[in-house]
A and B are shown apart, each in its own frame.
Chain A
Amino acid sequence: MANTTTYQKTEWDTLHKNGPYPLRFLQVTELEGKANMPSSIDRYNDAAKEIQRLIKEAKDNNHGFRAYGSRWSMSSIAHQKDRMHFNSFMNIDLTVTPSDVHVDSSYDHSNLFFFECGNTIKEISQALGAHGKSLKTTGASNGQTIAGCISTGVHGSALDIGSVQDYVVGLNLIIGPNSDDIVYLERHTKPALDDGFAQKIQARVIRNDGLFNAALVGLGSFGFIHGVTIEAEDRFLLKRYVRKIDKNTALKLAETMDFENSDFTIDGETDANGNGKRPYHYKIFINQYVNDPEYVIEVMYKKPYTTPYPDPFNTIEKSIYRDLIYLLIKISEKFPKSIPWFIKQLEKQILPEVNEETIGTLYETFWDAPYQGPAFACSFGVSIENSSKALKLLADLTKNEGPIPGIFAMRFVKKSEATMAFTKFPITCMIEIDGVLWKKTRKLMSLKEFSHRMIEVLQSNNIPFTIHWGKNADWSYPNLISHMYGENAVSWKEYRNALLSDEMAALFSNEFLRTIALSDVVTLPIEKEEELIASIT
């Protein structure tokens, strides 16, 4: 039997120390050993039973229940004051056989894989690598669990690919303590696995585009994500270049994504006419405190997987004494005017080395990100056409009303089909400021005030935007969600209320969901409710 250890706690914090938040119980489930239960399916189903037992226990105590993985989110999205469940040890992967594939599936059987919730991006990448396969994209690093990634919309800068949730093609949710509360969701227009597979994991199948898209970026509130089916692809290499280019050229590329007609080219990455090829990845780094006519950019081009290639790990990493960083933060809080100078001095540690070139797999390129002390990140999604204007507004705010101890970057992500994806524009430019966490002083505004002003500035300049679910923001800003998502937010609530009983909707809610007004109970006519969660054939 899977075994859960319950720890009595008083508080819980994110990895980057953005809390702390109050907590009663932390629960950690470890699976039955292979030696005692050799079948992976049996151990997977055994774990599902254990989760249902925990859900019942929470329900009987009138408590909330929320799963989390690597606690990388900086917002309070993962937090629940009553019971939090650490699911990282739930890391089975189930084999998908040709007979498991749906008869109408458009997916190549060899690209379909099923992973339990607690598998990290790194574990999944290794498992796929053993089959000569790769994920299509990841975040900038590899430590997040797959369930955490899709619940919060983790993205990289794959401008024609999308975010992590965009290659998830099936979701196994546990939505309550009863036997029919294990469901397997897919899109009805793009089925992947057949009913026989769902039977193996003791789930009832619902194929419904609307429901699937709503649950895909479910903010941890659409039940317990127990497993996901993903579509992988053949392993590939990424050739990575770091360059410093004219900032107008860099920003024009951000606005147009027109690499073919740009002045920017890299030798060997051009077509027969000498025009620039479209990269897989494009990122701009901006130190808003220096008036440099050039920006550091990072581009990556996809290449077929061939060996040999140089060892991408053949480097020595050096880290600064942490006490030194804390000292700099303390000085910055007292003398904010020193922040631009400190950032300039730390540029070598913060920015990639100009003219650096590497080649490696996706797994090797987006590598480990060690904990480096308390950190913040604010990340806004805008349409690429508005990217330069939005960057200028946010950078000016940071300079004029700060300075804030962080620097900006821009990444670019293809639109997601998920109802509540913040990557909602055809190509979304994610403008992000990352830095060290500071405390409000008489001379330096708080993070909440800063993020509040960012929203105000974008709104007052009529720039439509979204905010990364896992990043810092003033989430209590009035009407924020309806401003960003409009009807999609209403639709998301309807699907959630149709799938979950009122009791379970309350159990899977948290303060974050209440703050953004997505936890409300929506009463729908029974016919409409049935329609929303009907399996469409």
Chain B
Amino acid sequence: MKISIKTWFRFLRVLIIALLLTSCYSVRIVSTHGTPNPDPINDSDDDYRNKRVIVLDTVIKGGITTSVLEFKTARNGCKSGKLHSVEYKNTFGGSLLYLVTFGNKRKVKIKYVCMKPEN
């Protein structure tokens, strides 16, 4: 049976969509106690809708001897200083960058939500 060019393109499109979907994934750790800090201005269409989310999306030049990168909670948007959830996103581009720079450049994509301030 001969497969037409149109069918090949369809197959390619499905393959690209599948690859795009699976080339990145997120892992999130969520506290079982405490309430997420709300944000009535956040109208995003993701899991963080109505929450005060702080995003760290950067490339850090770590150096090949650096083991751990540590960030402190921001004062702005994290009045309580306590964490409610932290999400780490792994992307294909981030992994590739780490490999080709031998660990020197590290793509960091973290989203975190702090606890709602107590009164």
| Chain A residues within 8 Å of B, Cβ to Cβ | 7, 13, 15, 17, 26, 28, 31, 34, 40, 43, 70-71, 86, 88-92, 116, 120, 122-123, 126, 313, 319, 321-324, 364, 368, 370-371, 373
Contacts and interface: CB of A to CB of B under 8 A. Distances in A.
A86 to B, nearest CB: 4
B17 to A, nearest CB: 9
Contacts of B33: 126
27 contacts: A7-B41, A26-B40, A34-B119, A40-B119, A43-B119, A70-B38, A70-B50, A71-B40, A71-B50, A86-B38, A86-B40, A88-B40, A88-B116, A89-B119, A91-B118, A91-B119, A116-B119, A120-B35, A122-B35, A126-B35, A313-B32, A322-B45, A323-B21, A324-B21, A364-B32, A368-B30, A371-B46
A371 B119 contact: no
Contacts of A323: 21
A371 B50 contact: yes
B50 A123 contact: no
Interface string B23-43: 000000010111100101101
A34 B79 CA distance: 13
A7 B38 CA distance: 16
Contact of A13 (B21, B43, B46): B43
B40 A31 contact: no
A126 B40 CA distance: 23
Nearest to B34: A126
A126 B116 CA distance: 13
A143 to B, nearest CB: 8
B47 interface: yes
Closest 7 CB pairs of A and B: A86-B40, A92-B119, A371-B49, A88-B38, A313-B32, A122-B35, A91-B119
Given A40-B119, A43-B119, 18 more contacts: A7-B41, A26-B41, A34-B119, A70-B38, A86-B38, A86-B40, A89-B117, A89-B119, A92-B119, A122-B35, A123-B116, A126-B35, A319-B47, A321-B21, A324-B21, A364-B32, A371-B49, A373-B45
A123 B47 contact: no
A184 to B, nearest CB: 20
Nearest to B20: A323
Contacts, number: 53
A7 B42 CA distance: 13
Given A116-B119, A313-B32, A321-B21, A370 B38 contact: no
Please classify the interface of chain A as helix (H, G, I), strand (E, B), loop, or mixed, using the class held by over half of its residues.
loop
Interface residues of B, number: 19
A86 B30 CA distance: 25
Contacts of A15: 49-50
Centre residue among B43, B46, B50 by max chain A CB count within 10 A:
B50
A126 B49 CA distance: 23
Contacts of A89: 38, 116-117, 119
Interface string B42-72: 0101110110000000000000000000000
Contacts of A324: 21
A466 B98 CA distance: 60
Contacts of B50: 15, 70-71, 371
Interface string B102-119: 000000000000001111
A360 to B, nearest CB: 10
Nearest to A13: B43
Contacts of A116: 119
Given A7-B41, A70-B38, A91 B32 contact: no
Centre residue among A71, A364, A370 by max chain B CB count within 10 A:
A370
B119 A31 contact: yes
A123 B35 contact: yes
Given A91-B116, A120-B35, A322 B46 contact: yes
A371 B47 contact: yes
Contacts of A43: 119
Contacts of A313: 32
Contacts of A364: 32
A298 to B, nearest CB: 21
Interface in B62-86: none
Nearest to B43: A13
Contacts of A31: 119
Contacts of B40: 26, 28, 71, 86, 88
Contacts of B116: 88-89, 91, 123
A123 B21 CA distance: 36
A13 B30 CA distance: 26
Contacts of A368: 30
A313 to B, nearest CB: 5
A370 B35 contact: no
Contacts of A17: 45
B59 to A, nearest CB: 25
A71 B46 CA distance: 16
B44 to A, nearest CB: 9
Contacts of A122: 35
B26 to A, nearest CB: 9
B91 to A, nearest CB: 14
